[in-house]
Amino acid sequence: MAVSKELNYKAIGAVIAISAIVFTAIGVVYVGPMLEKRKAKKLAITKKNQILKKA
């Protein structure tokens, strides 16, 4: 069986495009809310520290 050295550029492009879509979806669904929770927690700690300093 002969091995073809020609690359199928359409297939490579499709894999790259699908990978980009999947990683974007993961970022929107999973990483985005996780970062928002972390940001909210830091903000709450900062506000709590400011209130304690005033007292």
Q: In 1-55, where does DSSP find H-type helix?
A: 9-26, 32-54
Nearest one of 30, 31, 33 to 41, comparing CA atoms: 33
pLDDT digits (tens, 9 = 90+) for 7-48: 788 999 999 999 999 999 998 898 888 989 999 999 999 988
Q: Does 2 or 11 have the greater pLDDT score?
A: 11
User: Domain-by-domain residue ranges, the chain?
Assistant: 8-55
Surface-to-core class of residue 38, CB atoms within 10 Å of its CB (0-12 exposed, 13-18 middle, 19+ buried): exposed
| 4 φ/ψ angles, rounded to the nearest 5 degrees | -85, 130
Whole-angstrom Cα distance, residue 40 to residue 21?
A: 28
Q: How confident is the model at residue 3 (pLDDT cuts 50, 70, 90)?
A: low
Residue 52 — very low, low, confident or very high, per pLDDT cuts 50/70/90? Answer: confident
pTM: 0.53
